[in-house]
Structure 1
Amino acid sequence: MRPVRRPLGLTLIASFFIAAGAATAQEATVAPPSAMVLENVPPVSASLAKRVEKYNEFKPTSYAAWHPTKLEMIVSRRHNNTPQLFRVAKPGAPLELLTDYAEPVRSAQYEPRHGKFYVFGRDSGGNEVFRAYRRDVGAKAASADAVPVTPDNRRVQDTAWAKKSGKLLYVTVPVGRQGSNDQISSTISIVDPMQPEQARVLAELPGGGWGSFAFSHDDKQLVYLEYVSANETYLWLMDAATGKSRRLTEKGSDKVAYGDPVFARDGKGIYTTSDRGSEFRRLVYIDLASSKETVLTPQIEWDIDEIDLSDDGKLLAFVANEDGSSVLRMMRTGDRKLVAQPKLPLGVIGSVEWHNNSRNLALSLSSARSPSEVYSVDAKTGAVTRWTQHEKMEVDMNRFVEPSLVRWKSFDGRSISGFVYRPDASKFPGKRPVVINIHGGPEGQSTPGFLGRGNYYTDEMGLIVIYPNVRGSTGYGKSFLKLDNGKLREDSVKDIGALMDWIATQPDMDASRVAVFGGSYGGYMTLAVSTMYPERIAAAVDIVGISNFVTFLERTESYRRDLRRVEYGDERDPDMRKWMEATAPANNAAKIKKPLFVVQGKNDPRVPWQEADQMVATVKKNGTPVWYMTANDEGHGFGKKANADYLFYSTIDFFNTYLLK
């Protein structure tokens, strides 16, 4: 239920990676899931599925919530086909299953005073119409369904607890609206989760960009964000009793991005992140009386991604994104001095949250050799405790390849970076085929985390995998973030062209066997690369990608349309519309010469299925091989293991047929 702070691109799409093998007519095959629709996708051999099975069972674990009075927590981990919630009574304790649904459950929050129940979010079929539910502590996973707390058929955008009263604030937007000129509003409500029918509307705010709500310690005020774009957000204050609000930060020509606001313990100020006067988001304190903004981390020239304040108000925990890797730090609020840095394993940190005891900090951490696991840090002793441990697997994760950070010059001389996963050269000598995996967003970032199935790529097939961070990626400054906006869109595609130039100079890379792969915005990039550089690639895999920004903006859900227009341009403007149509991959599909694999969730609210349909139809007319996979029970990416497994196997066959020949 906490707001998502990183785009899904790498997290979802990396799990779809591939291995070598192909079905023959004589072999037994694996039946596709019942909700899957296939066109030109060959049957999957049972022998292939068996061969890669040991790479199919990773179970990343993510932190969800501390119990307010006990030193125990809720985590999320896959159970059977989908991620579900588990209770962890103490570090290393067996995981106790709390939920067991056909749909994924990844987030939860305890009632903040006594922890007698928890609230979690769930959608249906990947439609992202999230609804909040209440479930009592002690209820068995197989017991009667949980009690809905928020209205049906409205998407929950954000939630926040009033810790003194135990009431829950939630933000909802209408769904099922796809008109280009729809005017929607966000409804801010507050409720006692034990009496959901008595919810009270605090305010109606225009548009769908409101989130990151947080109460003051006395429950009297709220701070929250108005999101306009990745480069422009504003802080607001609201009276929690009346709903009256005022903007805390000014609008001006110099756009500023804020994030993760939280009240100081005395309610006189706000801790947040801000890129005012800087390329990067720094930790700052804003005095409410004067609106003065004081930078607390001038020495850190990287984005601060996450912050959390201890309940006693004495310690701030925050995470710096240093070239894709996460560094956790703590600061005393009294003298604003950093304390000794916790000694965590090198990797990528997810959410961080203090226990109510103001001593123990929980976090999720992944690395190239470990799926996400949950840890805590003792602020008093500095001790790091691991709470969860992946079950033993046949594959040895300690032997997985570590990535290296590389840089290359693009068409305009700008330095672009990415992470390269290389196989063991003694096992796979000579020039190796390359897969370029482009993240989503576009305001996202590929980080050196866990590849999951993708490790089969390097360890068993000897393929080289490159995760580029083209212009427009987060983590490299606000100027870099804006370099692909509007009509600069194809400059990011040219960064991939420059990457292919760099690949041709590498002694271990085969420039004649390069595949491009991406999901969401990375799917658009995949399609755009296929039209701009058709002779330089061997194959392409597009997962839930945009094929035409005009039709995408006309059909995406209304609660997000205006937010996307700031990034991509407004399709209602004749000049911009003309440019979008001229550069759309769907309108340039005749240029695609190499085989294409298109994957789509039928319930996708972000990139509707028509984007895939129109691309497939156009490519087919040209006689270019195109495989098409649709799942009727998925949305923006495949979240169910059975679907992801079958996609994994089919991608194996696709690359075996068109890349590895």
Structure 2
Amino acid sequence: MHDLERYLNVRSAYGASIGPAGTLAFLMDTTGTPQIWTLDEPAGWPEQRTFYDERVTFCSFSPERRELAFGMDEGGDEFTQLFRLDLDSGEVDPLTDTPDAIHYWGGWSHDGDRIAFAANRRDESVFDVYVQGRDERGEAAELVHEGDGWLALAGWSPDDDGLLVTEHTSSFDKDLYVLHLDSGDLEHVTPHDGDVRYNSPSWGPDGEAIYCCTDRDSDTLRLERLDLDSGAFAVVEDGGAWNVDGIALDDETGRLAFSRNVDGYTEITVGELTGTTEYDTRPAPDLPDGTAGGVSFGPDGEVFALSASSRTNNTNVHRVAFESGETEQWTRASTAGIPRSTFREPELVHYETFDGREIPAYFTLPAEDVRASAGVPVIVDIHGGPESQRRPSFSGLTQYFLSRGYAVFEPNVRGSTGYGKAYTHLDDVEKRMDSVQDIRAAVEWLTDQSAVDPDRIVAKGGSYGGFMVLAALTEYPDLWAAGVDSVGIANFVTFLENTGAWRQEHREAEYGSLDDDGEFLEAISPLNHADRITAPLFVLHGANDPRVPVGEAEQIVEEVRSQGVPVEKLIFEDEGHGISKLENKIEAYTTVVHFLDRHV
């Protein structure tokens, strides 16, 4: 049996970008935080290019030069700054120097002479659009559009005269605009009523159309083409009961790859446009049966890179030949010496909840030789969001718990993405606690499984999943042996009052507004029912969390502790919304494991 530190040392390689000469750049966490590495051949010895204690959040090759743009924040505060790395000299230059602002990367111009980004420098609650020369530094960027909402960028037009701008009103309501750089005009190209998503937008090859994944007039996301002259949409690919949830399109060749999310598993389709909505398919890449994404085409469209992961394969970067589909795994991120054969696969199950609805979940049992004869303890692991989905990708921590004899149950309760628009809205505002009832139904299903010990069931979750843990402990206290809350919401009112200014309106669209729904938000907040908690509680948080401020952890710990319930708290001063540094992960989850060993 391997110890926890070994499992947390399983590496991940992802976020790939292909350079002009075929060099592959990617992020890998070998040093304990994600840094930039490069390879010039498959399975070669990678060269480390950045050497920071803080995480690098992305890297993007210039289309014309051996240089990369990358982003980095400090202590998990999400105030990302942009940098340029010259691969030949190794020199790093800061492109931005506004540490109290967030910078969202918007891409290189096709000639590699300019970059674009969105930032909340002027007002922390809104994002503006900036353009900057590759040799300019600090605050030299030109403000080309003042925004009045949450803006981000999806790339330069093929002629570099425009930028594709996205506006996020909520997780389910987005808009697309074209910013004409010569005139400064911002053209709204997706006027609509109600909530509509326009995800993963990409310029068409001629600059006359946008391709995106949208649930306009559909319960699920479809791949559609928007003609910019007429404003008309046309369906390119309908995923049927499943979302077409991502597209990468090379705007010079018309070559594309898009993904379909089938019960959490990724199916990749590769093709080349032969008309406005027609395409010829190519062989699909040969990848592990799990999740894949982050497609990045090479400069000539002949190859593309993507990251792939499964429950028994840690995340690695693969490079795919466009015409043949020949797939090579370029990176060899270490499994820390743990045999892949010991990693456990989940079973996809569906359980009935209070209103007769079937809830999908992944259920993984430990190997028989580590199962307790009287029944195994179970960790009910609840994802965040709630506009998210638990999918079958690799988790070293999950595999560790399985190796120690725990089963793991991962439900996609109502409100999760991946199952259609209607499903995601089943937990909106006044229906919030219906999703918590789905957790109760999960425990009822588990107690009917002969392999499970119903007296040793743990609630575990992060962010919104942390709220779900606290809510499950207050609503159904008799079901739980323990709870583990990571960066979770304890009180919706204080959370909305203190979350980052750029996020408040976005979050109110999901949870309810302070002005209109304040009384209801108080009524469902776990903090106000903490006297019902009887199970031991562990609370984990980052002091720099801009999304769910650390006060949420401090409030719930103080209140539960005052009830005489065993509570442990661990706050990291150099972390934000989650634990990203390896040494902190080791300390955090070693402490969690000891907590569960004592109480479960």
Do the structures match in fold with TM over 0.5?
Answer: yes
**Alpha-carbon distance between aligned partners in 1 of 2:239 and 2:449, rounded to the nearest angstrom:** 36
1:188 shift after superposition: 0.6
Equivalent position to 2:173, from 232, 244, 248: 232
User: Does residue 123 of the first structure (1) align with residue 73 of the second (2)?
Assistant: yes
Cα deviation per residue 1:569-605 (whole Å; 9 max; x = unaligned)?
Answer: 10122xx111111111011000000100001100000
Structure 1 residues 625-634 or 397-406, which shifts more? Answer: 397-406
Output the amino acid matched with 2:53. Answer: A
Give the CA deviation at 1:150: 5.1
1:56 alignment counterpart: 8
Partners of 2:33 and 2:53 within 8 A in 1: yes
**Deviation of the 1:75 alpha carbon:** 1.0
* Aligned AA (1:435): I
- C-alpha separation in 2, matches of 1:75 and 1:165: 19
The match for 1:42 is none
Alpha-carbon RMSD across the aligned residues, in angstroms, is 1.7
The 1:525–1:176 alpha-carbon spacing in structure 2 relative to 1, beyond 3 Å, is: farther
**CA distance in 2: counterparts of 1:566 and 1:376, whole angstroms:** 39
Deviation digits for residues 412-463 of structure 1 (CA, Å, limit 9, x no counterpart): 111111111111235424521110000011111100111213212112x221
Q: Structure 1, residues 383-433: CA drift from partner, whole Å, max 9, x if none?
A: 111101133633212221111101111111111111111112354245211
Query: 1 CA distance for matches of 2:14 and 2:416?
Result: 24
- Aligned residue among 200, 204, 209 for 1:260: 200
**Residue of structure 2 equivalent to 1:352:** 295
Partner of 2:109: 162
**In 1: Cα distance, 2:357 partner to 2:280 partner:** 36
2:405 maps to what in 1?
A: 462
Shift of the alpha carbon at 1:111?
A: 2.1
Residue number among 140, 152, 157 corresponding to 2:99 in the alignment: 152
Q: Distance in 2 between matches of 1:176 and 1:541?
A: 36
1:540-585 Cα shifts (integer Å, max 9, x gaps): 0000000011000000010111100100110122xx1111111110
Matched, 1:606 2:550: no
The equivalent of 1:527 in structure 2 is 470
Q: C-alpha separation between the residues in 2 aligned to 1:629 and 1:392? A: 27
Over 3 Å counting, the alpha-carbon distance change for 1:283 and 1:174 in structure 2 is same
Q: Residue 60 of structure 2 contacts residue 70 of structure 2 at CA under 8 Å; is this kept in 1?
A: yes
Structure 1 distance, partners of 2:483, 2:390, is 19
Partner residue in 2 for 1:453? 397
343-352 vs 624-633, greater mean Cα deviation? 343-352
Preserved CA contact (<8 Å) 1:306 1:352:
no
Contact 1:127-1:605 within 8 A present in 2 as well = yes
2:481 alignment partner, one of 509, 514, 538: 538
SS in 2 for 1:267: coil
Structure 2 counterpart of 1:485? 428
Identity of aligned residues (%): 33
Moved more, 592-601 or 106-115: 106-115
Corresponding residue number in structure 2 for 1:273: 213
Distance in 1 (alpha carbons) for counterparts of 2:249 and 2:568:
49
- Contact 1:153–1:175 (Cα < 8 Å) also in 2: no
Distance across 1 between alignment mates of 2:83 and 2:249? 27
Quote the offset at 1:159 in angstroms: 1.9
3-state DSSP of counterpart to 2:281:
coil
Q: Are 1:473 and 2:473 matched, yes or no?
A: no
Q: Is the 8 A contact 1:202 1:242 kept in 2?
A: no
What corresponds to 1:204 in structure 2?
A: 146
Give the TM-score normalised by the residue count of structure 1. Answer: 0.87
Per-residue Cα deviation, 1:208-245 (whole angstroms, up to 9, x for no partner): x2124221110112222211122211111110223211
2:160 to 185, 197, 219: 219
CA distance in 2, matches of 1:237, 1:390: 39
Q: What's 1:412 paired with? A: 355
**Aligned-partner residue type, residue 55 of structure 1:** Y
How many angstroms does 1:185 deviate by? 2.5
Ranges in structure 2 where 5+ consecutive residues have no aligned partner:
none
- Match in the other structure for 2:226: 286
| Corresponding residue of 1:104 | 55
After superposition, the Cα gap between the structure-2 partners of 1:396 and 1:176, relative to the gap in structure 1 and judged at 3 Å, is farther
426-435 vs 56-65, which moves further: 426-435
Distance 1:88 1:213 in 2: 27
2:35 corresponds to 1:94: no
1:590 is the counterpart of 2:537: no
Residue of structure 2 in register with 1:302 after alignment? 242
Structure 1 residue ranges without an equivalent (≥5): 1-18, 20-49, 178-183
Aligned residues: 595
CA distance in 1, matches of 2:446, 2:30: 40
| Separation (CA, whole Å) in 2 of partners of 1:301 and 1:311 | 29
Q: Deviations over 1:499-539 (max 9, x none)?
A: 01111111111111100000001000000001001111000
For the residues of structure 2 that align with 1:75 and 1:125, how far apart are their CA atoms?
21
Distance 2:494 2:123 in 1: 16
Provide, for residues 360-405 of structure 1, a one-character-per-residue CA deviation record: whole Å limited to 9, x for no partner: 0110001111110000111112211110113363321222111110
